[in-house]
């Protein structure tokens, strides 16, 4: 995987750009002036980040794996230590599927009923491969989402969720909070 140089990253025009950032030269960014990237961030091949009016804010020590996408008009926030596995889609906007309006970006706004809402992933969230997170969802601290899940509502902290729609399975251990303290002290 080829990563963009610091000079190349700076020419993209992010609103903020931390240090130790590794972004694939095959990733795509739309409206980068609305995208903030923290430090110690890696974004892999074929990811698409398309920021709408609310923007995209990426914290520190975040990984976004191959073929993932963050798209929509609402704000998308990834807090520190978030891990997005491959082929994850996070949407802060969603078409109306009821049939009462039209959909797709080539149709004028007045014929559509797109709903937008902020999406937030708190510290130490991990989202498994192939999962989809819909607008308005908050994944609270330490949430783990199993692979191929559809997340349609907020998830309780330090809980493992999985399924379509995602449902709570079991508690998640909080040992990683102590590890975070040790990690930060070692830096």
pLDDT in tens, 91-140: 999 999 999 999 999 999 999 999 999 999 999 999 999 999 999 999 99
DSSP classification of residue 136: T
pLDDT of residue 1: 77
Average confidence (pLDDT) over 144-171: 98
Dist CA 35 CA 45 (whole Å): 18
Dist CA 131 CA 90 (whole Å): 8
Pairing of strands 93-94, 115-116: antiparallel
Q: Is 14 within 8 Å of 33 (Cβ atoms)?
A: yes
**What DSSP element (H or E) covers 10?**
helix 6-12
Instruction: Name the residue among 17, 6, 70 with its Cα closest to residue 39.
Output: 17
Q: Tell me the pLDDT tens digit for each residue of 26-68.
A: 999 999 999 999 999 999 999 999 999 999 999 999 999 999 9
Instruction: Name the residue among 93, 31, 94, 22 with its Cα closest to residue 64.
Output: 22
Dist CA 107 CA 129 (whole Å): 31
Q: Tell me the pLDDT tens digit for each residue of 155-167.
A: 999 999 999 999 9
The reported pTM is 0.96
Count other Cβ atoms within 10 Å, centred on residue 6.
12
Residues 6+ positions from 86 with CB-CB distance below 8 Å:
44, 65, 66, 67, 68, 129, 130
**Omega cis (within 30) before 178:** no
Instruction: Name the residue among 71, 16, 23, 72 with its Cα closest to residue 48.
Output: 71
Averaged pLDDT score across all residues of the chain? 97
Q: Is 130 within 8 Å of 112 (Cβ atoms)?
A: no
């Amino acid at each position: 995987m080829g990563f963009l140089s610091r000079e190349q990253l700076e020419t993209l025009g992010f609103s903020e750009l931390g240090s130790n950032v590794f972004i694939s030269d095959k990733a795509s960014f739309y409206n980068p002036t609305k995208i903030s990237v923290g430090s110690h961030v890696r974004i892999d091949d074929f990811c698409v980040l398309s920021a709408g009016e609310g923007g995209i804010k990426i914290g520190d020590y975040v990984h976004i794996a191959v073929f993932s996408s963050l798209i929509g008009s609402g704000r998308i926030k990834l807090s520190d230590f978030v891990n997005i596995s491959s082929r994850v889609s996070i949407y802060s906007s969603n078409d109306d599927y009821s049939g009462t309006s039209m959909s797709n970006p080539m149709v004028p706004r007045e014929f559509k009923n797109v709903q937008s809402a902020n999406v937030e992933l708190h510290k130490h969230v991990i989202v498994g491969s192939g999962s989809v997170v819909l607008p308005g969802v908050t994944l609270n601290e330490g949430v783990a989402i199993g692979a191929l899940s559809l997340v349609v509502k907020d998830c309780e902290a330090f809980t493992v969720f999985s399924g379509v729609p995602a449902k709570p399975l079991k508690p998640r251990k909080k040992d990683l909070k102590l590890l975070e303290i040790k990690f930060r002290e070692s830096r």
